[in-house]
């Protein structure tokens, strides 16, 4: 890589940080700056790939080489052409990812401030090589405490799964060795939908202000500081009154009918790339914050809980109607479909699917009493 003046300046800034003895301070600031990356990258003990690859031992690592991560062609090519990550190259990349590596799929606009980049690099260095040991114990404890799993049945991490399999008695397979009866634990883990009337809501609570801090750390990188959506990630707020316009802006505030869907969606699918990592209380707090972003609640100390949940309504609820198609005449009067012994006598095979055109011709099928 060629050394641009800004890369040299950055190296200088890091050297200055180390020389002035403010290295530890830089690391602390870097940890805060890293929140911008955290939605997509993990570091530290047990760090896994998320939307982006884990960044342990990034120093000296060839670009695009973490096992099991699907890089863009551009990143793989950069590595093959000799790009190795060091303070300069990370600094340049983070400053303007898409200029540094054209075609990268890292959806991050860039980090302008040189001091921020320098602290960030100092922080990342503590997870690389011999420096990795510098990570203070208390931080490790904090990381471990970050993910309590309230309900073992819906535990996500690998340990959670092992736990389940270990404790459960797995039923034998059926006659044809196709499938088996699902375990109660499996059904519980899968059955997490929440309905508009509140059915399925877990016990719990969370305030707008707690939601805001979780949001800043884990959602804002994609959905924008105010839910306005960054780059092409979706907006979570705004658009009210736009539905009749030529370009309607459909958001939770302008379009979605029920708050239960917000809770369900966040719990089930977000943060993107790290789904099911939030506790039930965190999801309450985030849902409360999404209400706040949409001006549906206005107090920062508003607390959303399993008790007051169904009292809250989204503005567009009345524009939706229950789906009552089953009651419409042509459905309602229909006879129960026949499921067995539907033709008199013995059914006979008249053609093999392999020979027959896969899509049956409706004219020949209709009115005949054999299934072709
Ligand atoms: C919206 C998600 C997202 C955010 C935010 C993000 N990254 Fe990335 N990052 C990615 C993806 C995806 C890749 C893989 C890029 C590719 O293959 O082109 C990546 C790749 C990288 C790489 C190259 C890693 C390798 O193994 O070659 C580095 C270094 C990196 N990111 C650092 C950062 C830092 C530092 C920040 C915060 C300032 C950050 N990223 C923010 C998604 C993100
Ligand atoms: C790495 C980027 C990323 C992060 C971080 C992220 N999301 Fe998302 N989010 C997405 C994408 C992409 C979609 C759209 C998915 C789709 O349509 O299939 C989405 C959709 C949503 C939606 C539905 C929006 C709509 O109108 O369809 C909600 C609500 C949401 N996210 C909440 C959150 C919350 C809360 C967090 C933080 C805990 C979070 N997201 C973190 C990328 C992200």
Q: Which atom of ligand 1 is nearest to the CA of 76?
A: 17
Is residue 262 in some structural domain? no
> Of residues 332 and 293, which shows the higher confidence score?
293
- What's 10's domain CATH number? 1.10.760.10
The CB of 51 under 6 Å from ligand 2? The reply is yes
Mean pLDDT along residues 229-244: 94
- 118, 10 contact by CB (below 8 A): yes
CA 71 to ligand 1 center in whole angstroms? 10
Cβ of residue 71 lying under 6 Å from some atom of ligand 1: yes
pLDDT at 174: 66
The residue whose C-alpha atom lies closest to atom 17 belonging to ligand 2 is 234
**Co-location of 132 and 157 in the same domain:** no
Taking 60 as the threshold, does the pLDDT of residue 32 lie above it? yes
Whole-number pLDDT of residue 171? 67
Nearest CA to 90 out of 103, 69, 108 is that of: 108
Residues 6 or more apart from 165 whose CB is under 8 A from it? none
The response to whether residue 108 sits with its C-beta less than 6 Å from ligand 1 reads yes
pLDDT at 188 exceeding the cut of 50: yes
Tell whether 52 and 161 lie within a shared domain.
no
Ligand 2 in reach of 314 Cβ (< 6 A): no
Residues 97 and 168 grouped into a single domain: no
Range in 104-108, 256-260, 278-282, 309-313 with the lowest mean pLDDT? 104-108
Q: Is 266 close to ligand 2, i.e. is its CB under 6 Å away?
A: yes
pLDDT digits (tens, 9 = 90+) for 147-180: 333 333 333 444 434 445 556 666 676 667 777 7
Which range, of 100-114, 279-293, 301-315, averages the lowest pLDDT?
100-114
Contacts of 367 (CB under 8 A, 6+ apart): none
Ligand 1 centroid to Cα of residue 366, in Å, is: 58
Residues 76-93, mean pLDDT to the nearest whole number: 91
Q: What's the CA gap between 278 and 210, in Å, rounded?
A: 13
> What pLDDT does residue 260 have?
97
Contacts of 167 (CB under 8 A, 6+ apart): 185
Q: Are residues 64 and 129 in the same domain?
A: yes
Highest mean pLDDT of the ranges 82-91, 215-224, 357-366: 215-224
Please tell me the least confidently modeled range out of 10-14, 107-111, 225-229.
10-14
pLDDT of residue 162: 41
Tell whether 70 and 161 lie within a shared domain.
no
Tell me the percentage of the chain whose pLDDT exceeds 70: 77
Percentage of residues in the chain with pLDDT exceeding 90? 49
54 close to ligand 1 (CB < 6 Angstrom): no
Q: Do 113 and 11 lie in a common domain?
A: yes
Q: CB–CB of 237/293 below 8 Å?
A: yes
pLDDT at 372: 41
User: What number does the ligand 1 atom closest to the CA of 71 have?
Assistant: 17
Q: Tell whether ligand 1 has an atom less than 6 A from the beta carbon of residue 302.
A: no
The CA distance from 122 to 116, in Å, is 10
Residue of higher predicted confidence among 252 and 330: 252
- In what helix (H) or strand (E) does residue 205 lie, and over which residues does it extend? strand 205-207
Nearest atom, ligand 2, residue 50 CA = 1
Q: Which of 40, 270, 276, 291 has the most ligand 2 atoms within 8 A of CB, as the residue to mutate?
A: 270
Q: Looking up tokens 């999404």, which residue turns up?
A: 290
Whether residue 295 lies inside any domain: the answer is no
CA distance 287 to 266: 8
Please say whether the beta carbons of 44 and 56 come within 8 A.
Answer: yes
pLDDT tens for residues 50-82?
999 999 999 999 999 999 999 999 999 999 989
Q: Ligand 2 pocket: which of 38, 42, 222 to mutate (most atoms <8 Å of CB)?
A: 222
Q: Three-state SS string across 89-106, please?
A: HHHHHHHCHHHHCCCCCC
Which residue in this structure is represented by tokens 């500081």? Answer: 225
On whether both 129 and 178 belong to a single domain, the answer is no
CA-closest residue to ligand 1 atom 32: 94
**What distance in angstroms lies between residue 41's CA and the mean position of ligand 1's atoms?**
7
Torsion over CA of 252, 253, 258 and 263, rounded to 10 degrees?
50
Domain boundary among 145, 175, 205: 145
- 139 and 162 in a single domain? The answer is no
Looking at the structure, do residues 92 and 141 belong to the same domain, yes or no? yes
Q: Is 53 in the pocket of ligand 1 (CB under 6 A)?
A: yes
Name the residue with higher pLDDT: 186 or 210: 210
Give 354: exposed, middle or buried? Use CB within 10 Å, 0-12, 13-18, 19+: exposed
Residue nearest to atom 42 of ligand 2 (CA): 272
CA 313 to centroid of ligand 1, rounded, Å: 38
Residues 127 and 35 in one domain: yes
User: Which residues have a Cβ under 8 Å from the Cβ of 40 and sit 6 or more positions away?
Assistant: 50, 51, 52, 106, 108, 221, 273
Q: CA–CA separation, 365 vs 86, rounded Å?
A: 69
Q: Which of 36, 51, 52 to mutate to test the pocket of ligand 1 (most atoms within 8 A of CB)?
A: 52
Nearest ligand to the CA of 234 is 2
Instruction: Pick the residue whose CA is nearest to atom 36 on ligand 1.
Output: 37
Atom of ligand 1 nearest to the CA of 34: 37
Are residues 99 and 171 part of one domain?
no
Q: Is 191 a residue whose pLDDT tops 80?
A: yes
Phi, psi of 305 (to 5 degrees): -145, 175
- The residue whose CA has the least distance to atom 2 of ligand 2 is 222
**Residue 185 structural domain:** 152-190
Mean pLDDT for the chain? Answer: 81
If DSSP codes are grouped into helix, strand and coil, which group holds residue 160?
Answer: helix
Q: Please indicate, yes or no, whether residues 53 and 163 belong to a single structural domain of this protein.
A: no
Per-residue pLDDT at 358: 67
Mean pLDDT score, 283-303: 97
Lowest mean pLDDT among 46-60, 116-130, 200-214, 310-324: 116-130
Whether ligand 1 lies within 6 angstroms of the CB of 30 is answered as no
Domain total for the chain?
2
The CA angle 224-228-231, to the nearest 5 degrees, is 65
Identify which ligand lies nearest to the alpha carbon of 67: 1
pLDDT of residue 203: 96
Classify 254 as helix, strand or coil. Answer: coil
Residue ending a domain, among 117, 145, 173, is: 145
Q: Is the pLDDT of residue 137 over 50?
A: no
- Average pLDDT on 104-130 reads 88
Q: Which two tokens stand for residue 207?
A: 């305030």
Position 130 scores a pLDDT of: 55
Q: Average pLDDT in the 306-312 region? A: 96
Q: Which of 114, 145, 176 is the last residue of a domain?
A: 145
């Amino acid at each position: 890589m060629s050394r641009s003046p800004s890369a040299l300046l950055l190296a200088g800034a890091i050297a200055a940080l180390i020389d002035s003895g403010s290295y530890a301070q830089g690391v602390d600031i870097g940890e805060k700056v890293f929140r911008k990356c955290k939605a997509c990258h993990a570091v530290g003990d047990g760090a896994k790939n998320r939307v982006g690859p884990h960044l342990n031992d990034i120093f000296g690592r060839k670009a695009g080489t973490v096992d099991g991560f699907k890089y863009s062609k551009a990143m793989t090519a950069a590595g093959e052409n000799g790009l190795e990550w060091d303070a300069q190259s990370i600094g340049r990349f983070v400053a303007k990812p898409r200029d540094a590596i054209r075609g990268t799929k890292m959806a991050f606009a860039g980090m302008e401030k040189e001091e921020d980049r320098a602290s960030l690099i100092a922080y990342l260095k503590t997870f690389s090589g011999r420096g990795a040991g510098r990570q203070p114990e208390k931080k490790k404890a904090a990381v471990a405490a970050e993910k309590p799993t309230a309900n073992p049945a819906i535990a996500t991490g690998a340990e959670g799964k092992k736990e389940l399999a270990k404790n459960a008695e797995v039923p034998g397979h059926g006659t044809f060795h196709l499938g088996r009866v699902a375990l109660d634990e499996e059904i519980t883990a899968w059955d997490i939908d929440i309905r508009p009337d509140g059915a399925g809501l877990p016990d719990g609570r969370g305030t707008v202000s707690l939601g805001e801090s979780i949001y800043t750390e884990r959602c804002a990188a994609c959905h924008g500081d105010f839910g306005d959506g960054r780059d092409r990630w979706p907006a979570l707020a705004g658009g009210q009154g736009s539905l009749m316009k030529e370009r309607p802006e459909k958001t939770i505030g302008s379009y979605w009918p029920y708050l239960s869907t917000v809770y369900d969606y966040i719990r089930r699918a977000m943060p993107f790339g790290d789904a099911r990592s939030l506790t039930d209380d965190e999801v309450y707090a985030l849902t409360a914050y999404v209400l706040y972003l949409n001006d549906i609640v206005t107090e920062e100390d508003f607390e959303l809980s399993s008790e007051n949940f169904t009292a809250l309504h989204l503005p567009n609820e009345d524009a939706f109607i229950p789906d009552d198609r089953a009651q419409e005449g042509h459905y309602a009067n229909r006879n129960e479909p026949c499921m067995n012994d539907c033709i008199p006598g013995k059914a006979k095979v008249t053609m093999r699917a392999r020979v027959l055109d896969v899509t049956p011709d409706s004219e020949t099928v209709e009115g005949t009493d054999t299934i072709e």
